[in-house]
Amino acid sequence: MYKIVVRTVALCFCFIITNSYAQQVSDSLSLQKQNDTILLTDGNTIIPLFIDTAGCDTTGILKYSTITHPDKIRKLDTDEIFSIRNRKGETILYKQDSLGDNYSVVDMRYFIMGQQEARKSNKIYAAPFIANLLLSAGAGLTRNFLSPLVPVAFTAILTIPKIKIRKENVSDPEYLNNNAFVTGYKQEAYKKKRLQTFLGGGIGLLVGLTTSFILKSNGTDIIK
């Protein structure tokens, strides 16, 4: 009986591994067949399964589907797209706009690179994170109905200081000589800084409120 169980488990394990490998091969083949990549002006990329560029110039809308949802047609404003790339080359959809993005095609490419570099950076904004955590924890201890506003308020205040870009945080220090790259990097870095700071405040508020209610339930309430 024991041997039968062991063999059954082994066969199941082999089946799972084989099926998983087959799925990976299938996914890999699907990706290899897909040649197009949509590069957005915010630095993100989309790997579509299908792209319909018909009427883009007049409607300003690009239609596409993804590998995960092949039957769902999605729409994307061409103003959000920098280019579409495939094996044949790159088609630039971005157009310089004096009322909006006043970057040339070259500078916009640097701007996007700056966003991508900041997104890849592992920099932790520890000081604002810890500061907001401690302040929000203190606010949470009071159980004041205005306590939830503390993380938001201090996130706005603590993210005011300028972002400093260190050479070791970019793949090529020469990029820092381009203003568009620096602007793109700082814009994305500010988003990360705000998110980390707000996260610290949210954790602190939760800790403070939880501690306060525990103390109250134990008869040692610090609020009189």
CA 5 to chain centre: 46
104 is a domain residue: no
Q: Are residue 165 and residue 124 in the same domain, yes or no?
A: yes
77 is a domain residue: yes
pTM greater than the 0.75 cutoff: no
Q: Are residue 165 and residue 212 in the same domain, yes or no?
A: yes
Q: What pLDDT digit, counting tens, does each position of 71-98 carry?
A: 888 988 988 999 999 888 898 989 887 5
Q: Are residue 137 and residue 205 in the same domain, yes or no?
A: yes
Q: Which two tokens stand for residue 178?
A: 């381009």
State how far the Cα of 170 lies from the Cα of 168, in Å rounded to an integer: 6
**Which residues have C-beta within 8 Å of that of residue 119, sequence separation ≥ 6?**
43, 188, 192
Q: Which two tokens stand for residue 49?
A: 């399964």
Q: Are residue 196 and residue 128 in the same domain, yes or no?
A: yes
107 is a domain residue: no
* Number of domain units in the chain: 2
Q: What pLDDT digit, counting tens, does each position of 106-124 carry?
A: 999 999 999 999 988 877 7
Is the Cβ–Cβ distance between 128 and 158 less than 8 Å?
yes
Q: Are residue 167 and residue 212 in the same domain, yes or no?
A: yes
Least confident of 10-14, 107-111, 165-169: 10-14
Domain of 202? Answer: 120-217
Q: Are residue 149 and residue 210 in the same domain, yes or no?
A: yes
Report in angstroms the alpha-carbon separations of 192 from 10, 131, 173, 183, 196: 46, 16, 21, 14, 6
**pLDDT band (50, 70, 90) for residue 8:** very low
State how far the Cα of 180 lies from the Cα of 186, in Å rounded to an integer: 10
108 is a domain residue: no
Report the DSSP pairing between strands 48-52 and 74-77: unpaired
Q: Are residue 150 and residue 64 in the same domain, yes or no?
A: no
